[in-house]
Amino acid sequence: MRLLVTGGAGFVGSNVCLQLAERHPDWEVVALDNLYRRGSELNLPRFRAAGVSFVHADVRSKEDFAAVGPFDAMVECSAEPSVMAGGDVIVPVNLLGAWHCFEAAAAHDAHVIFLSTSRVYPIAGIEALPYEEAETRYELVDRPGIAEDFPLAGARTMYGASKLAGEFLLQEYGFPWTINRCGVIAGPWQMGKVDQGVFTHWVLSHVFDRPLKYIGYGGTGKQVRDLLHVDDLVDLVELQLTERERWAGQTFNVGGGRDGSLSLVETTAICRELTGNDLPITGEAATRAGDVRCYLSDCRALFAHTDWRPRKSPRDVLRDIHVWITNHQDLVLSALG
């Protein structure tokens, strides 16, 4: 197997590269990245130590793929992940870049695993669902979460629109492909920010005593997201790479579901316990464009297809992030600025 991971020096991409290189020493793993995101450069020494090849290239340039050579499979992790970024940033990376990735895969008849997002589901449709307001969170009523057949008509942010368009492009090709619509992915080596990687951002802020704010829905911090440890995602990707016939042509929601979810208030309580820092958090009542009250992945279709299940709880995820930060404080601070 010669495996190409686009966005390979990013958070998810680097974990895919490093873990699969360790698990499959007979595979040749190649990471392709332009090192745009601050902190991605920290993975280069880790790649060298693990025997992962690195190609400094940009998915926005079709010609850059010539430096890669032939490959058998691709995990497409490249993306501008911020829901707050504009189309001038998002479209060239997430849409044009995805097309270049698929064209390169077509040239070698490679299997493509496309990491899409739960953000493909429209905001108005999610917000129109019935909710109850509990003490620490909003709860969906009469459903476990959003399933793959949720209606797709409506606006969803430029980020979500670009990833959904990428899904549509991918399905036009004849090579085997698999789409994972991921909820929030978190874990060590993620340089979390307020607009992407919120759970890691919360732990980082508690460790380094940086200000935090509950934004929207009255500033109460009751918004809910499910989260998945990056190690659990790599386990699933490994299955999809090694059993590609079973996964070809499939689209699945991949997330933690209700049992793997946290509100911001609940996240704060765990962060205070882990760090011992009772960080004051302010509130801002106005809801930010593109936000949703509660997103939970309904993964019943995925669970009916495979024995794979998330192994790590939300508390495990936050604990692992805290241990990583504690053990690499200087490196983390150098990347955060």
Looking up tokens 């493509």 gives 112
pLDDT tens digits along 291-329 = 999 999 999 999 999 999 999 999 999 999 999 999 999
CA distance 335 to 231: 22
Please, where are the H alpha helices in the chain? 11-23, 43-50, 87-90, 97-108, 123-127, 157-170, 198-207, 230-242, 244-247, 264-275, 300-305, 314-327, 329-336
What is the H or E stretch that residue 214 is in? Answer: strand 212-215
Domain encompassing residue 134: 2-336
pLDDT tens digits along 49-80 = 999 999 999 999 999 999 999 999 999 999 98
Return all residues near 77 (Cβ < 8 A) that are at least 6 apart.
5, 6, 7, 8, 10, 12, 13, 16, 115
CA distance 112 to 101: 9
**Is 17 within 8 Å of 8 (Cβ atoms)?**
yes
| Secondary structure (3-state) at 329 | helix
pLDDT band at 38 (very low <50, low <70, confident <90, very high): confident
Residue 195's pLDDT is 66
**Is 310 within 8 Å of 183 (Cβ atoms)?**
no
pLDDT band at 220 (very low <50, low <70, confident <90, very high): very high
As for how many domains the chain has, the answer is 1
Q: Which tokens in the block code for residue 262? A: 């946290």
Tell me the pLDDT of the chain averaged across its residues.
Answer: 96
**Is 226 within 8 Å of 297 (Cβ atoms)?**
yes
We report the CATH number of the domain holding residue 298 as 3.40.50.720
| Secondary structure (3-state) at 11 | helix
Global confidence as pTM: 0.97
